[in-house]
């Protein structure tokens, strides 16, 4: 087994990136090696996303390409992990017999066993059958659309928790000590059932990890040199752990089902009382893992966001002044049809309250907010759309993801509301919103000129990478100072990483670097070649000299 090489590619969101990392860690500790080339792999894994059809299409075309490769190498094992596996179920295998393994996002703890089984089965299949290449060995672990995982959670052990826990104890981290930035999961799944969204079906019911596990994970990451942590959850601000209701199985405190949000409870940090709220959790991580110089969280739900959380952010210097709070639309009628549970006015009130607590440019700590918008939700009129434009104008995000509505089978909107906004209209609205947001981002960037910010340095900028004549995969590697693609990074490749490759190919005396502010704005600055090597992962002070689009430019001070 030790010689099997895995190619793992990740599609979609940060939650998937984390899942891939945890899976890679587990597989590495079991003796699998990793490769960055699918063509060299014995095991090809795609960790997939189902949020929009486009994301699924990419995976279909990748799987199509693998068919030929497998014909030459019938022992190769192909696995589809994540939301697409969960959503399409075995139908995916029927359509693509190249796929041997399917594993839903709620079952990833079972992946090592599935893979082991599939690798062995393929080996014996290939030995006996000349047509082996076209036969799937069908190793499958899915939650199944009818049993949301939580149905069994109350009584049973939540074995998925061990996947997150395994990170802390895994002796081998395939990403290595270079890592300065990491994700930590606090909740899984979602109970909101927005009518367009597939997540509650693919990732199952919301569960909250025990705070001790989360804090411990943050401390261990800090001990390994991580200085920036992003806490992940579909609706992070709903985090709440009731200690009296905690269950223990196999000596391990189990994650807890999300309950109806109860706001307004007293903060009682560090003493292990009845309830750990999201505010408590943030405070506890801040206090107990001081090595973490930047603590962020995504994604926040615009409802149920208490002042207690805002106060903790305000009072804790290492918690970032950055919120990602999707509004989705500015039309109350659309919000209702989307089942979002708030009005545009309530959204505005939240943004105003957040700014009131957290926007302090005078001490160098402005609040930066980003959002998500869906255009072309069924029945969206010009008037609805105008209200979204207006919300964008009012919110003044530093940046915003804008998506065209994509009907997802299994969701309420797909079943009940015809997708009646023509593609051409969606495109026009999408472009118009992009233009509005670009102007706002540009204005927000310009407002930062003259300010002095601490930035976490990532690595050479894209421009520097291009100027050095690096391209494609090399460039990806070179920019990998902080952000990581697991898609097979092996230890011997790390030397080639980041700065070295660029410096070797540059004759000028400075190299352009990029970093990010605590509000998650990108900053470009020139660094002397002499000190360039030591920069990635450092936090340095920069004066902003220019702002344009999404990018700030500055100089080290
Ligand atoms: N169509 C388009 N965008 C979607 N999103 C979620 N579901 C859909 C869909 N069916 C967007 C939302 C969400 C982000 C992660 O993806 O804006 O916040
Ligand atoms: Fe989907 Fe809504 Fe849950 Fe976000 S909050 S994951 S959009 S159901």
pLDDT digits (tens, 9 = 90+) for 361-390: 989 899 999 999 999 999 999 999 999 999
| 222/144: higher pLDDT | 222
How far apart, in whole angstroms, are the C-alpha atoms of residue 98 and residue 62?
11
Greatest mean pLDDT among 41-50, 242-251, 263-272 lies in 41-50
In the prediction, which pLDDT does 498 show?
60
Mutate to test the pocket of ligand 2, among 234, 329, 405 (most ligand atoms within 8 A of CB): 234
| 539/484: higher pLDDT | 539
Is the pLDDT reported for residue 1 higher than 70? no
In the prediction, which pLDDT does 260 show?
66
Is the pLDDT reported for residue 174 higher than 80? no
For 150, the 3-state DSSP assignment is helix
User: 115 near 101, Cβ under 8 Å?
Assistant: yes
Distance 497 CA to ligand 1 centre (A): 34
Model confidence at 501, in pLDDT bands (50, 70, 90)?
confident
Cβ of 234 less than 6 Å from ligand 2: yes
Q: Identify the weakest region by mean pLDDT among 112-121, 223-232, 267-276.
A: 267-276
Give 382's contacts (C-beta < 8 A, 6+ positions apart).
Answer: none
Strand partners, 540: 455
For 460, the 3-state DSSP assignment is strand
In the prediction, which pLDDT does 506 show?
80
5-142, superfamily in CATH? Methylthiotransferase, N-terminal domain (3.40.50.12160)
Is the pLDDT reported for residue 426 higher than 60? yes
Same fold, 147-320 and 332-343+364-447: yes
In 3D space, the residue among 314, 302, 315, 316 whose CA is nearest the CA of residue 359 turns out to be: 314
In the prediction, which pLDDT does 416 show?
96
Is the pLDDT reported for residue 10 higher than 50? yes
Is the pLDDT reported for residue 268 higher than 60? no
Taking the CA of 235 as reference, the closest ligand is 2
Is the pLDDT reported for residue 149 higher than 70? no
Mutate to test the pocket of ligand 1, among 370, 403, 406 (most ligand atoms within 8 A of CB): 403
User: 464 near 502, Cβ under 8 Å?
Assistant: yes
**Residue 346 buriedness (CB in 10 A; 0-12 / 13-18 / 19+):** middle
**The two structure tokens encoding residue 201:** 């079906």
In the prediction, which pLDDT does 549 show?
93
User: Which stretches of 74-154 are assigned E, i.e. beta strand?
Assistant: 77-82, 101-103, 139-141
| 500/254: higher pLDDT | 254
Distance 431 CA to ligand 1 centre (A): 17
In this structure, the residue with its CA closest to atom 5 of ligand 1 is: 51
In the prediction, which pLDDT does 475 show?
52
Distance 196 CA to ligand 1 centre (A): 7
Q: Which atom of ligand 1 lies nearest, measured to the CA of 401?
A: 17
Distance 221 CA to ligand 2 centre (A): 28
pLDDT digits (tens, 9 = 90+) for 275-304: 899 999 999 999 999 999 999 999 999 998
Is the pLDDT reported for residue 177 higher than 90? no
Q: Identify the weakest region by mean pLDDT among 340-344, 412-416, 482-486, 514-518.
A: 482-486
Per-residue HEC secondary structure of 227-267 comes to: CEEEEECCCHHHCEEEHHHCCEECCEECCEECCCCCCCCCC
Tell me what percent of the residues of the chain surpass a pLDDT of 90. Answer: 67
Taking the CA of 190 as reference, the closest ligand is 2
The one-character DSSP state at 552 is E
How far apart, in whole angstroms, are the C-alpha atoms of residue 34 and residue 24?
8
**The two structure tokens encoding residue 63:** 């799987």
Is the pLDDT reported for residue 238 higher than 70? yes
Is the pLDDT reported for residue 92 higher than 60? yes
Taking the CA of 373 as reference, the closest ligand is 1
Is the pLDDT reported for residue 315 higher than 80? yes
Cβ of 329 less than 6 Å from ligand 2: no
How far apart, in whole angstroms, are the C-alpha atoms of residue 435 and residue 447?
19
Cβ of 157 less than 6 Å from ligand 1: no
In the prediction, which pLDDT does 129 show?
83
Q: Which atom of ligand 2 lies nearest, measured to the CA of 203?
A: 6
The whole-number average pLDDT for the span 381-402 is 98
Write down the CATH number for the domain with range 147-320.
Answer: 3.30.750.210
In the prediction, which pLDDT does 150 show?
39
Model confidence at 171, in pLDDT bands (50, 70, 90)?
very low
In 3D space, the residue among 462, 469, 453 whose CA is nearest the CA of residue 539 turns out to be: 453
Is the pLDDT reported for residue 30 higher than 70? yes
In our burial notation (b when 16+ CB lie closer than 10 A, e otherwise), range 489-516 reads beeeebeebbbebbbeebeeeebbbbbb
pLDDT digits (tens, 9 = 90+) for 33-84: 999 889 999 999 999 999 999 999 999 999 999 998 998 999 999 999 999 9
CATH of 332-343+364-447, one of 1.10.1050.10, 3.30.1330.20, 3.30.750.200, 3.90.1150.10: 3.30.750.200
Distance 325 CA to ligand 1 centre (A): 13
Cβ of 268 less than 6 Å from ligand 1: no
The whole-number average pLDDT for the span 78-101 is 93
Cβ of 374 less than 6 Å from ligand 1: yes
Distance 193 CA to ligand 2 centre (A): 6
Distance 438 CA to ligand 2 centre (A): 25
Distance 479 CA to ligand 2 centre (A): 31
Is the pLDDT reported for residue 18 higher than 80? yes
The whole-number average pLDDT for the span 499-514 is 84
Q: Would you kindly state where each structural domain of the chain is located, as residue ranges? A: 5-142, 147-320, 332-343+364-447, 452-556
In the prediction, which pLDDT does 159 show?
78
Question: According to DSSP H, which parts of 318-422 are helical?
Answer: 332-337, 344-358, 382-395, 412-416
The whole-number average pLDDT for the span 529-551 is 92
Is the pLDDT reported for residue 465 higher than 60? yes
């Amino acid at each position: 087994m030790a010689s099997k090489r895995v190619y793992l590619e990740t599609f979609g969101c940060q939650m998937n990136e984390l899942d891939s990392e945890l899976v890679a860690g587990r597989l590495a500790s079991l003796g699998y090696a990793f490769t960055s080339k699918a063509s060299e792999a014995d095991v090809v894994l795609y960790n997939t996303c189902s949020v929009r059809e486009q994301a699924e299409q990419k995976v279909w075309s990748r799987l199509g390409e693998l068919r030929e490769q497998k014909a030459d190498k019938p022992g190769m094992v192909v696995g589809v992990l994540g939301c697409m596996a969960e959503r399409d179920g075995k139908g995916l295998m029927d359509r693509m017999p190249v796929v041997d393994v399917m594993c839903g996002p709620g079952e990833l703890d079972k992946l090592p066993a599935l893979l082991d089984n599939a690798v062995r089965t393929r080996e014996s299949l290939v030995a006996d059958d000349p047509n082996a290449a076209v036969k799937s060995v069908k190793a499958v672990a899915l939650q199944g659309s009818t049993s949301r995982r939580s149905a069994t959670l109350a009584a049973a052990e939540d074995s998925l928790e061990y996947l997150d826990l395994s990170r802390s104890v895994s002796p081998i981290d395939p990403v290595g000590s270079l890592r300065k930035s990491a994700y930590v999961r606090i909740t899984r799944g979602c109970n909101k059932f927005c009518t367009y969204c597939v997540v509650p079906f693919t990732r199952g019911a919301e569960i909250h990890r025990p705070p001790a596990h989360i804090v411990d994970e943050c401390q261990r990451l800090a001990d390994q040199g991580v200085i920036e942590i992003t806490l992940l959850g579909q609706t992070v601000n709903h985090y709440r752990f009731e200690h009296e209701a905690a269950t223990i199985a196999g000596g391990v405190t189990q994650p807890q089902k999300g309950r109806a949000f109860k706001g307004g409870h007293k903060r009682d940090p560090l003493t292990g009382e009845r309830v750990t709220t999201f505010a408590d959790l943030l405070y506890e991580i801040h206090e107990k893992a001081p090595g973490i110089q930047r603590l962020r969280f995504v994604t926040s739900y615009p409802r149920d966001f208490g002042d207690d959380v805002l106060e903790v952010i305000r009072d804790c210097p290492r918690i970032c002044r950055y919120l990602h709070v999707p509004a989705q639309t500015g039309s109350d009628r659309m919000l209702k049809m989307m089942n979002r549970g708030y009005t545009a006015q309530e959204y505005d009130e939240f943004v105003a309250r957040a700014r009131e607590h957290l926007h302090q440019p005078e001490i160098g700590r402005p609040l930066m907010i980003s959002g998500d918008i869906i255009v072309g939700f069924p029945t969206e009129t010009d008037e609805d759309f105008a209200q979204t434009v207006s919300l964008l104008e009012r919110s003044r995000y530093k940046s915003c993801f804008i998506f065209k509505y994509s009907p997802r089978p299994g969701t309420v909107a797909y079943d009940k509301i015809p997708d009646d906004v023509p593609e051409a209209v969606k495109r026009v609205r999408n472009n118009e919103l992009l233009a509005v947001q670009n102007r706002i981002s540009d204005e927000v960037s310009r407002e930062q000129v003259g300010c002095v910010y601490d930035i976490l340095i990532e690595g050479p900028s894209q421009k520097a990478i291009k100027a050095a004549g690096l391209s494609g995969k090399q460039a990806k590697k070179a920019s990998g100072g902080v952000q990581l693609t697991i898609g097979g990074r092996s230890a011997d490749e790390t030397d080639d990483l980041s700065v070295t490759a660029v410096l070797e190919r540059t004759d000028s005396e400075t190299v352009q670097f990029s970093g990010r502010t605590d509000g998650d704005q990108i900053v470009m600055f020139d660094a002397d070649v002499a000190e360039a090597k030591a920069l990635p992962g450092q936090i340095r002070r920069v004066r902003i000299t220019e702002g344009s689009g999404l990018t700030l430019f500055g100089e080290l001070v």
